[in-house]
Structure formats: structure tokens, C-alpha cells
Structure 1
Amino acid sequence: MDNKTTAKEILKYVGGAENVKSAQHCATRLRIITKNQDLVDVKAIENLDKVKGSFYNSGQYQIILGTGLVDKVYEEFMPLIGQAMTAKVDDELAEPEKLTFRRAIRIFGDVFVPIIPVLVATGLFMGLRGLLTQEAVLGVFGLTPADVPVQLIQFTQILTDTAFAFLPALVAWSTFNIFGGTPILGMVLGLMLVNSILPNAYAVGSGEAEPMIFFGFIKVVGYQASVLPAFMTAVVTTKIEKWLKKTIPDSLDLILRPFLTLLSGLALGLFIIGPVFHEIEVYVLAAVEFLLTLPFGLGGLIYGSFGQLLGILGIHHILSLLEINMLAKDGWNLLNPVGTCGNVAQAGAVLAIAIKTVSNKMKQVAYPSALSAALGITEPAVFGVTLRLGKPFIMSMIGGGIGGFFASIFQLKATGLGLTGIPGTLLYLNEQLPLYILTNLIAFASAFALTWMFGYKKDEVL
């Protein structure tokens, strides 16, 4: 079945174009908002060749296709429902739908979907730079760190520092895009928040720089490498721009709307929204770091065990904010090494099922799902196998907790985000790599053994 046929079949089984409000996609899933859930034939969709599973979450029907494939099916799907390829969440925001916590988290996640590939690439650049500048690696070629040309170091710094230096610009651009503002205005507003004239907020917090003083008492800083201030400023500013668009006469729109949008957005960002949400950001980050650095590996044990539930609840996108903040602030990601244990544990649990089961259908589902989880994509394993069976999911939670415990004990830190499991090794190309591999093997083996012994009977079927 080719991608166009898959798209047509999906559309047929979700009730046709007239039953689709809007559609978009993330890294692995086609996400459809339907008018009537009763018209969706879930079983028929999940029986399609390229579909690895599906589930409802926060009002969305999410169909798991996998990385790469989801983009291609999406491109075929959108023309069928008569929407532009740029269909965004702002279409649904225009409707009088109640803004629940889970829906707000979903929208927040949608803001970060376009940004994550850039940050994944930046993490890989960081890992490769760490590898190439290691004394042991250089020693193989008869070199020392002093032999590395300054120009090469500067070149690698451009690759590793740019995305985080201008992160608020990326966040503001994506937020404007999602909430129905003019994206280029969001980009410029974000750049204003990190203008080189403004002292870095983290530098001010550490005492390395002094804030700017306005009107004799308002302390103003820049928001380089911050997320929440840019996000909230952009959300409010899009509302202002939409109001201006309705209010300003058409003859003056080109002049006044961009001018007033940027002026009001910058004023709010620097004097009100930025200071408030930067403090919130700092406290949230401190709380997460406190959890992950609890003594005796307790933080890793807790997060490694229960972190997988965030994906099921549809609020895992909030982790992107925390990981980005950690990397921007310290250059390290404490969540990744613990979180990857949960993914690898899923692979271990599903592989145990694949080997032990006597059902050919179960084997056909479980083997590819185990491989996918080992590569960091757990939706097929979770929603297609372990969560349906129940006990294997619990065993994977235990395995993830055991792995997370050792990740904390070993004090593992990633150089980026977005990669886990086997691809995640690229974020540990330094002295940590052997410990990263060992930690993942522990998580995998624990979940495999527990599932084999206690979590699955060979004649169980989905």
C-alpha cells in the first residue's frame, strides 16, 4: 500500500473529510481532530499495513505511523480534506472549545515540534565536538588539545551555540505561527528579547552582569536561552496583533499593525511578562534538578519508573521545555539519560513478548515495536503491545526505574535532546559512553527478565 492509498484509507475510516476539523503531525503521529468520534473505525485503521497503533488524547485521534513515514502520509492526507499544508492549531483555538490543562499542554507541545529538529542537530554537534576535542581521541593521531586550531573551535561554537543563543526567537516565531499571528513579527520580537544590548538574565542572576534600570526602579534583562518568557510574551502579543488587525483601518494596517505589535510586545516582554515567567522558569528548573539529583539515585528511580506515564497522559511535551532550559543554562541535559531507560525498557519488555509468544500475529507486532523502542520511538510498543496487555507495561516501568537509578548513580548527562536508545549514544560521545551503554543494558535486561518471568504468558494475545 503506497502513502496516498494509506492516506485515503485513513480518511475513509475516520468518517470522511466532512468529519475532520483539522489535522497535523508530530515526529511519529498523524494527529486528527474529528467532529464526531463515533464515526471513527479504530479497528479498521489499526489493521492498515503502515499503521502501528492509534489512540485518543486531549481531543485528538493520533495515528502512529513512525518517523519519516508520517510526513509523507500527512502530505497526501491534507489535500484530501481540502486544507492547506500549513493548517495549524489556531484554527481550533478560534472555536469555543474549553481550554483544559491537557489541551494547553498539547498546544504547548505543538509550539516545540518545529523547533526540536534544530535542537537535535545542535545536540549532535555538541557530542561530536566533545568527541573530537577529547585528549584520548586526539592522542590516537598524535595530537593534544593545544594542537586544535582556534578557528576550528570557533567554527564548532557557531554550530553549537547559535540555536540556544537565539532560542527565544525560535519560540516566538513558532508561537505566532501556532496562535495565528504573523510569524515574521514573532521572529523579530524574539530577537528583540535577546538583543546584545540586554544583559543575559542568567549572568545577572549569577552576579556576572548588572541589569539595566528603567525609570529608576525597573530592572530589565535579556532572555537569552529562556523559553517561558518568550512563549508567554508571544501568546499575549498574538492576541494584541489580532485585535489590531480588526481595529485598524485597512489603509493604515501595513504601517500601524507591525509597529504597535512589536512595541507593545517588547514592552510587555521586558517589563512585565518576562520578569514574572523567568522567575517561574528558574524555580521549575530548580525543582526538576533537585528531583534528579536526589541522593542514592532516588530521583532517577522515580522519574525512570513514572516518566513513561507522561506520554500516555499526553503531557510529555512539557519535558522539552525543561531539557531546553537545562541545556541552555548549563550545557547538560539530566532528563535524557534517565528518560532513555524507560524507552529501552519498553524494548526489553516487548522483545520478551515477541520471543515467548506462540501467536504469529503477536510476533509480527512485537518484533518491529521492540526495534522501534530501541531506536527511541515507543508509541508502537506502548500503545500497540505493553499498555494493552497491562502487566508488561508495569514491568517496563520497573525496568525503567532500575535503569534510571543507575543513570543517577553514574551521574550521566547528555549534550543534547531528542535522541534516546541506540541513536542517543551520539549525545554521550565522551567518557560517559560506556556508562550510558551499561545503563541502557541494565534497563533493557531488567524489563526483559521481569516480563519473561512475571509479566506475560505465552498464549496471551492482544
Structure 2
Amino acid sequence: MTHSDAAAQIIEAVGGKQNVSNAWHCMTRLRFALKDEAAVDLETLNAIDPVVGAQFNSGQLQIVIGTDVEDYYKPLMDQLGMAQQDAIDENLDADGSDKKNLLIRFMDVVSGTFGPIVPAIAGAGMIKGLLAGLAAIGVISNQTDTYIVLDMLASGVFTFLPFFVAASAAKIFKTNQYVAVAIAAAMQYPAMTAAVAAGEIERFMLFGVLPVPVFSYAGTVIPIIFATLALSYVWRFVDSHLPKIMRTVFTPLISLFVTGIVAFTVIGPIGIYFGDALAAGVSALFTFSPVLAGFIMGVTRPILVFLGLHHAMTPVALQNFANQGWDMLMPTMFMANLAMAGATAAMYLKTDDEREKGVIAGAVVSAFLGITEPALFGVLSKYRKAFAAACLGAGIASAVICAFGVRIYGYILSSIFSLVAYIGPYFPFALLGIVIAVASSFAIAMVLTSRSSN
């Protein structure tokens, strides 16, 4: 079946093109805004060859395809007669309802902001992890030119992360991306970074009366997200009150000036304190009980991924790297991905359906490589006891590695290839965690489920 044929079948199963208001895609899923959800034939939809799973979530129909989703998205949009859009991520899982509390809405925004950035930070993180591993075993010295150049390649995205966050958040808040990036650039301007490095002053005085605290915004996330949110309100207000002939010049001028000052004096400092508080809270939990903290982080990880909120923990991990040079959350994410792979693998032995076996095998491989959506939505969402097994396996393995103090020194995609980043004193315990994550989730799933379990 061609991609075009599959797209045509998907359109028919969702109620026809007349039932589609809009369509997007993320890393692994097609997403639909529909006029009538009752018109969707889920049984037919799930039987279409590339479809791994389908479900309604927060007002959307989400169809899990896999990492080749874009190959199906292009003909789909052509047949719908709609313009293609850039890949998005979990932000659209939020339905915008006021029923959501502020914490959930904040997590939605953070998740949606980081979704599009993941390829950049994952690629850079893999280079960083590989460098760390090679340096740990003495293959390369961190004093060589080669190391320095490769480290620049790996570290650039993290140093200038506010630029990426600004561009991504601007899409979410529907405001001008370039002005958002301009604010991020201002917050990392050399005058600010040099003042931080010198440590000689605590603040600048704007107009002689407004204090601008001196902070390092390199690698930060929370300040620029809130600054971009503020920009969206300022931009709309200014744009709506200016004559059209003046908007091209004066809307960005006034928006940058007002939002920039507010970002420097209020939003940035509050964002720094808020980010530090989040990281300190997680750190306090690990200090109180590494085992309990590991179990909580591990057992909830598959649930967060299922809800599309998994990137909400990324700012905490990044803040840990910025504050202390290492992080203990990402190892638990690693364990969770492997636990999902283990529980999914158990379902391979629980089904006699050859097509289902093929789907499961692909999902297991994908989960080992760090992409867990096919396993979650295509397999574990149908075998709920296996989903519980994945959560328990992740919790157990995470508790064990946290008991041994396993940590990581740079952001890296949570896949089997990230193991190289653990080379060093924690390597044996990371290996132990992998075995426990896969074996425990597999064993629990085998015990809890039966061939008829669904």
C-alpha cells in the first residue's frame, strides 16, 4: 500500500474530508481536529496498515504511525486540500479548557515548547554523551582541539537554549518569533554575561530607578517562556490600538521595548527563582530518600509520556545541569523507556496474531531507541495490565539506580545508545538498572496478563 492510499483510507475512517477541521503531526502521530467525533470508525482506523493505534485525547484524534509519520502527512494534507504545517508536539494535547488547573496548563505549555526542540537537544546531547564517555575511558583528552571543537558543537544548543525556547514558545502563544528571539538575545547579551562572570555587581540601574538583577540566563527555560507569554499580550494590545499604517514599525518597537524591560526587571528574576525552586524541590526529594524519589520519578514517567507531559520535566533536568553540573532525573527517564520496551516485549508472547506481533516487534525496537509512543499507544494502551507492569518496572529500576547515586553529566536522548554517557563510576549500576528495567517489566507483564487480556 502506498502512502497516498493509506492517507485516503485514514481520511475515510475519520469521517471523510468534510469532517476534518484541521490536521497536524508530531514525531510519531497524526493529529486531527474533527467536527464530529462520532463519525470516526476506530475499528477500521486501527486495521489500516501503517496505523499502530488511535485514540481521542483532549479534543483531538491522535493516530500513532511511527517515526515515518511525515511520509503519510504530506499526501494526507494534499487530499484534504489543506496547507501543510511544521511538526508540532504535545502542546496540542492541551484543549485550552479552563477546567485545567494552572499546573497542568503550565506543564502543557512547557511540553509543547520542548517538543519541536527535542531533535536539536537530543542530537547535541548524543554528541555530548559520546564525548563524555570517550573522555572517561581515556580515548580522547578534554584538552585537545578536537574535543574543544566537538564540545562547541554539542554545547551550543544548551548555552543558547533561550533562543530555541523563544522561537518555539512564540508559536504556541501566537506572537512574533523574531521579537521573542530578540528578547532572548538581549537577556544573553555579553554585557549581562560578562557582569555575571565578573561577579562585581548585583544589578544594573535602568533610568536610575529600576533595578535589573544580574543573572546568567544561559541554558534557562522558565524566564523566556514567561517573557514570550508577556510579549504575546503586549503585541496584541499594541497592534490592536495602532493605525494599520503604523503597525509594521511601531508594534515591534513598542512590544520589544515594553516586554524587554519587564523581562529584565520582573519576569527574568522571578523565572530564575522559580526554576531554582523546581530543581531544589526535586533535589530535596532525592536528598530525603533517593530510593523513594527514584521510584516516584520512574513509576510516573510512562504516565507522563502517555499524557504528553513528559517534556515538562526537561526544564528541571536542564536547571540541574546549570546549577550543579549533573542530573539524576534523566537516568530515571532512561529506565522508564527500557521498562516500556520490556513490558511491550512480553505482549509479543501473549498474542497469536501475526500482524499484532509485527506491530509489537517494531514498537519494542522503537522504545529501545528512545521513541516510546508506538509502544504506549499501539500496545500498552490496549494491554492495560502491561502498562501497569511498565510503570512498576520503571519505578523499581529507577529506585535501584538512584540508591547507587547514578547521575548523568549532560542532556542526552534516553535510548540504549545513551549508555555511553554513563561510562565511569556509575556505569555498572546503569547496566544493572537496564537489566532490572527490562526484566522486571517483562516478568510482571507476563504474570499479570493473559492472551485474552486487553
TM-score normalized by the length of structure 1: 0.87
In structure 1, the residue matched to 2:362 is 368
Q: Is the 8 A contact 2:343 2:390 kept in 1?
A: yes
What does the per-residue CA deviation read over 1:22-60, in whole Å, with 9 as the maximum and x for residues that have no partner?
332222222222232212222222111111112222222
After TM superposition, give the deviation of residue 283 of structure 1 in Å: 0.6
Describe the SS at the equivalent of 2:402.
helix
The list of structure 1 runs, each at least 4 consecutive aligned residues, that deviate by more than 6 angstroms after superposition, is: none
Distance in 1, matches of 2:147 and 2:189, equals 24
Show the 5 A alignment for 1:208-219.
Answer: 208=199, 210-214=201-205, 215=208, 218-219=211-212
After TM superposition, give the deviation of residue 382 of structure 1 in Å: 2.5
What are structure 2's unaligned runs of at least 5 residues?
none
Distance in 2, matches of 1:307 and 1:209, equals 42
What does the per-residue CA deviation read over 1:416-441, in whole Å, with 9 as the maximum and x for residues that have no partner?
44622323324335454443232111
1:405 aligns with 2:399: yes
Describe the SS at the equivalent of 2:349.
helix
Distance in 1, matches of 2:225 and 2:429, equals 36
Distance in 2, matches of 1:427 and 1:53, equals 33
Cα 1:28–1:414 change in 2 (3 A) is farther
Q: Is the 8 A contact 2:128 2:155 kept in 1?
A: no
In structure 1, the residue matched to 2:282 is 288
Would you say how many aligned residue pairs link Structure 1 and Structure 2?
446
Show the 5 A alignment for 1:90-129.
Answer: 98=98, 100-101=100-101, 102=104, 105-129=107-131
Show the 5 A alignment for 1:276-425.
Answer: 276-295=270-289, 297-360=291-354, 362-417=356-411, 419-425=413-419
Cα 1:362–1:16 change in 2 (3 A) is closer
Structure 2 counterpart of 1:106, which letter? D
In structure 2, the residue matched to 1:77 is 76
In structure 2, the residue matched to 1:31 is 31
In structure 2, the residue matched to 1:460 is 452
After TM superposition, give the deviation of residue 461 of structure 1 in Å: 5.0
Describe the SS at the equivalent of 2:408.
coil
Distance in 1, matches of 2:176 and 2:210, equals 33
Distance in 2, matches of 1:130 and 1:417, equals 11
Instruction: Give % identity.
Output: 28
In structure 2, the residue matched to 1:59 is 59
Q: Is the 8 A contact 2:345 2:442 kept in 1?
A: yes
After TM superposition, give the deviation of residue 397 of structure 1 in Å: 1.8
In structure 1, the residue matched to 2:213 is 220
What does the per-residue CA deviation read over 1:367-401, in whole Å, with 9 as the maximum and x for residues that have no partner?
33222222222223223333323222222222111
What does the per-residue CA deviation read over 1:248-270, in whole Å, with 9 as the maximum and x for residues that have no partner?
22322222122111111111101
Distance in 1, matches of 2:96 and 2:387, equals 37
Distance in 2, matches of 1:376 and 1:306, equals 17
Cα 1:71–1:427 change in 2 (3 A) is farther
Cα 1:20–1:401 change in 2 (3 A) is same
1:173 aligns with 2:167: yes
Q: Which moved more, 1:235-244 or 1:214-223?
A: 214-223
In structure 1, the residue matched to 2:16 is 16
1:250 aligns with 2:244: yes
Cα 1:156–1:331 change in 2 (3 A) is farther
Structure 1 counterpart of 2:398, which letter? G
1:182 aligns with 2:182: no
What are structure 1's unaligned runs of at least 5 residues?
139-144
Distance in 1, matches of 2:87 and 2:122, equals 23
Describe the SS at the equivalent of 1:51.
coil
Describe the SS at the equivalent of 1:198.
helix
Superposed CA RMSD:
2.9
Q: Is the 8 A contact 1:349 1:447 kept in 2?
A: yes
Distance in 2, matches of 1:376 and 1:224, equals 27
Cα 1:235–1:420 change in 2 (3 A) is same
Q: Is the 8 A contact 1:347 1:444 kept in 2?
A: yes
Q: Is the 8 A contact 1:341 1:421 kept in 2?
A: no
TM-score normalized by the length of structure 2: 0.88
In structure 2, the residue matched to 1:264 is 258
Q: Is the 8 A contact 1:342 1:396 kept in 2?
A: yes
Structure 2 counterpart of 1:82, which letter? G
In structure 2, the residue matched to 1:443 is 437
Which of the residues 127, 130, 133 maps onto 1:131? 133
Q: Which moved more, 1:128-137 or 1:264-273?
A: 128-137
Describe the SS at the equivalent of 2:127.
helix
Structure 1 counterpart of 2:444, which letter? L
